[in-house]
Structure formats: structure tokens, C-alpha cells
Amino acid sequence: MSDEVGKVCELVTLQKENCKACTITTFLNNSHYFKKSEKHEHGPSATSGEIVQTISQIKQQARNTRDKPSKIIQNNIAVTPTNLLLYMPTKEALRMRIKRVRKNAMLPEPKTLEEIKIPITLRYTLSDESFLIEDSEYNQTLNDFAKDNYIQLNPSTIITDFELAVVNASSNIFLDNS
């Protein structure tokens, strides 16, 4: 599968310039291949390095803190010189960058019990009692959010998710023929 991707000069949107510069690449086998490029009709921007630095600070704060995107953006915009604010991406664009950075930084969801690694600090309660029960028959660690002494094997009531029960019952009665 081959797709052409075009990248327009950044200053066209930032300064409302009439630059016709455009780079076209072909996306093939998960890689971009250079196809052609037009010349710029302006000189380089002296502010682009400072803008890149500010954006990289925003990304780093997004990775390292759980602050709201609006707070991260506001803190960084407040210390950005006013002559650079014209060249900064919009707040919505910065918010989307923060969202993408955080999404990429998330650990993948485990598919099996073996993939779940519980840190030692979370294996004990505040009173240093074991917080986990090990099922030696299957050699799997089961997470039991109670102390060993308080486990009830004969509960007096059972709470169930009725929505899930209805879905399961209806799928057994009304077989899906698709």
C-alpha cells in the first residue's frame, strides 16, 4: 500500500506567508520515502528553536506529571516571551499533543496473568501483612483485596451485574446466526 503525504511550510500558517514550499513523501512499508520538495520563498525563522524547546518542555511535563493539560499549557505560555506567542501552536493543538504523549506513555494492557507484575511495596498492607494469595496448583498469583483471615468462602449474599447476566442469557436463548 502506498500513500503520498505532503508537508506544507510551517510559516504559511504561522505568519500568513505566501510560501509555496511543500515536501512530498511516499509512505510505503511503514516508512516515508522522499519524493520531491519545492524551495522556500523566505528566510529561516529565528524563533523556531525556542518554540521547539517550549513544546518539548510541555511534552516532558505531560509525561512526568498528572497535571491537567490546561495547567501545563498555562504554566509554559506564561513564561514564553510575548514575541514568540504568535508562533506557538493553538491551545487546542497543544492539548492534543499532551493527550498523544500521555497515550503513548501508557503501559500496554496485560493479556495474561503472567504479564502482570505487582511491585513488592503493593504486596503488603500497612500493617505488613500479606496482601496476596498464591495459588500453588496453577503457580499464579491471585490478587485478593483482603487479609487471609477475612476471606469468606460462604457469602450470605451474592452481588451480580444484571446487565451482563441478561446479555449472557439472551445470547444463549437467541443464538446469533451471523
- pLDDT tens profile 52-106: 889 999 999 999 999 999 999 999 999 998 888 888 889 999 999 999 999 988 8
Q: What is the DSSP string of 112-168?
A: SGGG----GGGSB-TTS-B-EEEETTTTEEEE-SS-GGG--SS-S-----HHHHHHH
pLDDT of 11 strictly over 70: no
Neighbour-count burial for 140-170, b at 16+ CB within 10 Å, e otherwise: ebeeeeeeeeeeeeeeeeeeeeeeeeeeeee
Average pLDDT, the chain: 73
In this prediction, residue 138 has a pLDDT band, given cuts at 50, 70 and 90, of: very low
Helix (H, G, I), strand (E, B) or coil at 17: coil
Query: Band of the pLDDT at 7, cuts 50, 70, 90?
Result: low
pLDDT score for 60 = 94
Report the C-alpha gap between 67 and 77 in whole angstroms: 15
The reported pTM is: 0.45
Question: What integer is the mean pLDDT of 150-173?
Answer: 71
Contact 129, 147 (CB under 8 A): yes
pLDDT category, 34, cuts 50, 70, 90? confident
pLDDT for the residue 61: 95
Of residues 105 and 41, more confidently modeled: 105
Annotated domain spans of the chain: 2-37, 48-105, 113-173
Query: Would you state the pLDDT for residue 28?
Result: 77
pLDDT band at 150 (very low <50, low <70, confident <90, very high): low
Q: What is the pLDDT of residue 117?
A: 76
